[in-house]
Amino acid sequence: MAPAIVLRPARTADVHAIKNLVAPLAEKRILISKESVTYFEAIQEFLIAEIDGEIVGCGALHVMWEDLAEIRTLATTDTLRGRGIGRAIVEKLLVNARVLGVSRVFCLTFEVDFFLRSGFTVMADQSVVDPAVYSELLRSADEGVAEFLDLARVKPNTLGNTRMICQL
C-alpha cells in the first residue's frame, strides 16, 4: 500500500522546502524562481503535501478577482512525480476556491495533459473578463495577474506555456 499523502496549510517554516521544490523546475524554466520574501508574503495561499512527515509537494491558490483565482507554484519532488501528489494538491486547491466563492480557476502551464485530467480546458477566448474588470486588474502589481492578462512585459516568462481555465 502506498504511503498516504497528507495535505496541510503551509507555515512560514516551509518556505525553504518550497524553494527547494521549485528550484529544479526553475532550472528547467518550467516555473519561475521567486525571492524568499515573495513566498513569505503569500504563505497563506500555499498547501503543503507530506508523505511520512517529509514535504513532497506544494501549490498555491491566488485570488485575482471576485470569481477568478490562479493555481500557481505547483511542484512535487522529482522522484515522486506521477504518484498523485500534484493531483491531490490541485483537487484541494479547487475545493478551497469553491469555499472562497471563486467560480473560475486559471493556470499557466507546460503540463497541459495533467491539467486537462483535472478539469481544466485550454483558454480559447483570451478575454475571459469584461473590460471593467480588465481595467481594474491592470492596476495589480502581481506578476501572475499580468500573466493572466497576457501583458507584453511578462511575455518572456510565459513563452511555451498554455493558458488554461477550470469552471467550478
pLDDT tens digit at each of 168 positions of the chain = 778 999 999 999 999 999 999 999 999 988 888 999 999 999 999 999 999 999 999 999 999 889 999 999 999 999 999 899 999 999 999 999 999 999 999 898 999 999 999 999 998 765 666 666 666 666 666 666 666 666 555 555 555 688 899 999
What type of residue is 33? Answer: S
Q: Which pLDDT does position 134 carry in this prediction?
A: 61
- 107 inside domain: yes
Q: Which residue blocks in the chain are alpha helix, DSSP H?
A: 15-27, 36-41, 85-100, 112-117, 131-137, 143-149, 155-158
CATH (domain of 96): 3.40.630.30
Q: Which pLDDT does position 151 carry in this prediction?
A: 58
- 86 inside domain: yes
- 78 inside domain: yes
Find the domain containing 34 and state its range. Answer: 6-167
Count of other CB atoms within 10 angstroms of residue 159: 7
Q: Which pLDDT does position 105 carry in this prediction?
A: 96
- 134 inside domain: yes
- 129 inside domain: yes
Task: Name the domain count of the chain.
Answer: 1
What type of residue is 91? Answer: E
- 98 inside domain: yes
Q: Mapping DSSP to helix (H, G, I), strand (E, B) and coil, where does residue 62 land?
A: strand
Q: Which pLDDT does position 51 carry in this prediction?
A: 96
Q: Which pLDDT does position 123 carry in this prediction?
A: 84
For residues 145 and 141, give the distance between their C-alpha atoms in angstroms, rounded to a whole number. 8
Q: Which pLDDT does position 135 carry in this prediction?
A: 66
> Do the Cβ atoms of 70 and 107 come closer than 8 Å?
yes
Q: Which pLDDT does position 33 carry in this prediction?
A: 87
Surface-to-core class of residue 121, CB atoms within 10 Å of its CB (0-12 exposed, 13-18 middle, 19+ buried): exposed
Question: Which set of grid coordinates corresponds to residue 78?
Answer: 522529482
- 1 inside domain: no
* pTM confidence score: 0.86
- 66 inside domain: yes
